[in-house]
A and B are shown apart, each in its own frame.
Chain A
Amino acid sequence: MTKYEKADVFNDAEVTADPYPFFEYLREMGPVTRDPLRDDVVHVTGYDEGNSIFKDDENFSAVDCTTGPFLPYAFDRSRDMDEQIADCRKQFPFADSIINQDLPAHNRSKSILNGIITPARLKANEEFMHTLANEIIDEFIDDGRFDVVSQYGQPFAQLVIADLLGVPKEDHNEVRGLIGAPDQMPGTLGGQFDFANNPLMKMGMHFVQYITDRRANPRDDVLTRLAHQTVDDGSLPDPLEVVAVATFLFGAGQDTTVQLFTGMMRYLSEYPDLEDRLRADRSRIPDFIEEVLRMQGTTKSTFRLCRRPITVGGVDIAPGTHVMLHLAGMNRDPRKFENPGKFDMDRSNLRTHVTFGRGIHACAGGPLARAEGRVSLERMFDRFRNIRIDEEKHGSPGQWEFDYLMNYSLRGVLEMQVLFDRID
C-alpha cells in the first residue's frame, strides 16, 4: 500500500473514488496517525479512539466539522484556540451553523431542532413518505429504469424535509428545484467551495417569510409550532435563528439520503439473492439498511479541531490540529466488526456503526433517514422486482464504473442507472 505514502486526501481523485484501501493504509500505521503530507492533520480510523473524540467536547471543537483544514481562517497554533475559534465564527457565519457550534451555543440551536424532529412529527412524516414514494415511482414506472440520484433520491429527500418542516404544498415544486451544484459543497476536493453560492439561500428567504407570518398569524400547522418553539432558556429565538436551523436541515438531509438509496441499490445488485430474501421477510429491511449504512455511509469523514493538548490512541495531538475522523474507517475497524469488509446483515452489532456520528453532533436525521430507506424499498418492492444496476452503463458488480462526488467528506455517485421489471 505504499502508493498512499504521498497521498493527498484533500486532492486525490483516486482516493476519493475508492477511499477504503486508503483507510486500511492509515489503519496499518495505527488507529490514530499523522497525515503523510500535512502537519496540521491527524487521521482516526479506530472505532474506540474516534468515539472518545466525539464524546469529548472539552478538548475538541466542531468549528471545522464540514471543512477540515480549509476554513478561511488562519489559526495560530501557538495562541489560545478558544479565542480564535470565537473570532473565526464572528468572521464566517457558516462556521456558526448548528453542526459547527460548540457548547453552550449548540444547546440553543438544538432546542429549535428538537422541536422540529419529534417522534410525533416523524410518524406523520412517514405517512407522507408512503404517498410521495408512489408518486415519484409513477414518473418512471413505464420506463423500466431510473436514475437513482436525480429521478428518485433528490426529489424524495427534498420533499420529505419540506413536509417535515411544514412547507405548504403549493411551494413544493419550487423546493424540488433547489439542488446544489456538487462542486460547491463543503469538502470539495482542493478546498475551494463557496458557501454564499448556495441554492439554500433561496429556501432561507422563504423561511423568513413563513416564520414572520406564523408569529403574526398563528395557524394550526407545523410552521406555527416551529415559529413558536422556544430555546433552552425558555425565550423565543430570533426568526433568523430558526431559519438557520430549518435551512440547514434541507442541506443535511439531501445528499446523505440520496446516497443511502444508491448504497441500497448497489448491494441489491451485488447480491442478487438479497432481494428475494428481503421480499420473503420484509422485517429484515431495517437490518439491510443498517449494513448499507455501515458499508457505504455517505459521510465518510468529518472533523474536529483540537483545542487543548491531548493524547488519543498513543498519538499526541496539539492544539490547532484538524482531526479527520473517518467514519467509514471506524465502521470497518476489525477490532469492532468481524470481517469488516464483508456485507453481512446478520452481524449482531449492526446498529453500532458510526455513520451518523456520536455525541452532541450525532445526526438528528438518523431516524428520518432510516425511515426514508425503509419506506422507499417497501414501495419499490410493491411496484417492481429484479432491481439491478444497469451493467451496460456502469460495468459489472464489484467493478462498477461510477462518477463519484469529488469530495473528501462525502461519499457518493453522481448518477446510478437502475433497471427493474414492473409488477402489474
Chain B
Amino acid sequence: MVKITYIEDNGERHTVDAPLGLSMMKAAVNQGIEAIVAECGGNCACGTCRVYIPEEWRDRLQPPEESESEMIQYSGDEDPGVRLSCQIPVTEELDGIEVRMPKSQY
C-alpha cells in the first residue's frame, strides 16, 4: 500500500491507501473519488481520468506511451503535468504523491 493524495479543483483533498499494481485511476475510483470519471474503465480510450503530476514527480514516472499521448492531445488538455491516471501503475516510488484533478474531465 502507498499513500496517494488526489486534490480536487476546489482544494478538497482525498488521501487513499492504494494497493500496489492497481492503476492510479482504479485506486481513486474504488474510493469513490468522483472527479476521476474514467468513462472507459481504464482502456486509454476516453481521456476522463486526467490528473496533473507535480513537476518534481514527473521524472519518477514511466513516460507516457504513444496511445496515452494521443489521447491526451485529443482531450485538448494542455497542462504540462497532465497524465491519464489509468495508465499509471501504483508503485512504491509513488508513495506520498499528491496529484491535482481538473475541474471537469470533459
Q: Are B71 and A119 in contact (CB under 8 A)?
A: yes
Q: Are A351 and B106 in contact (CB under 8 A)?
A: yes
Contacts of A119 in B (CB 8 A): 70-71, 73-74
Q: Are A114 and B43 in contact (CB under 8 A)?
A: yes
Q: Does A361 contact B (CB under 8 A)?
A: yes
Q: Are B71 and A362 in contact (CB under 8 A)?
A: no
Chain B proximity of A30: nearest CB distance (Å):
21
Contacts of A359 in B (CB 8 A): 40-41
Contacts of B106 in A (CB 8 A): 351-352
Q: Please report whether the interface of chain A is mostly helix, strand, loop or mixed according to DSSP.
A: helix
Chain B interface residue number, banded: 10 to 19
User: In the complex where A55-B29, A118-B67 touch, is A360 in contact with B39 (Cβ < 8 A)?
Assistant: no
Q: Which of A117, A120, A358 contacts B39 (CB 8 A)?
A: A358
Q: Please report whether the interface of chain B is mostly helix, strand, loop or mixed according to DSSP.
A: loop
Interface size of A by CB at 8 A reads: 21
Q: Are B71 and A366 in contact (CB under 8 A)?
A: no
User: In the complex where A117-B45, A119-B73, A351-B106 touch, is A364 in contact with B40 (Cβ < 8 A)?
Assistant: yes
User: In the complex where A119-B74, A351-B106 touch, is A114 in contact with B44 (Cβ < 8 A)?
Assistant: yes
CA distance A352 to B105 in the complex (A): 10
CA distance A114 to B87 in the complex (A): 14
CA distance A117 to B43 in the complex (A): 12
Contacts of B43 in A (CB 8 A): 110, 114, 360, 362, 364
CA distance A362 to B45 in the complex (A): 9
Contacts of B40 in A (CB 8 A): 359-360, 362, 364
Q: Which of A118, A351, A362 contacts B41 (CB 8 A)?
A: A362
Q: Does B46 contact A (CB under 8 A)?
A: yes
Q: Which of B37, B45, B70, B73 contacts A364 (CB 8 A)?
A: B45
List 5 additional A-B contacts (Cβ < 8 Å) besides A117-B45, A122-B74, A360-B41. Answer: A118-B70, A119-B73, A352-B106, A359-B41, A362-B46
Query: 23 interchain pairs (CB within 8 A)?
Result: A54-B41, A55-B29, A55-B41, A57-B41, A114-B45, A114-B67, A117-B45, A119-B70, A119-B71, A120-B70, A352-B37, A358-B39, A360-B40, A360-B41, A360-B43, A361-B41, A362-B40, A362-B41, A362-B43, A362-B46, A364-B40, A364-B43, A366-B39
Closest 7 interchain pairs by CB? Answer: A360-B41, A359-B41, A119-B74, A351-B106, A119-B70, A362-B40, A362-B39
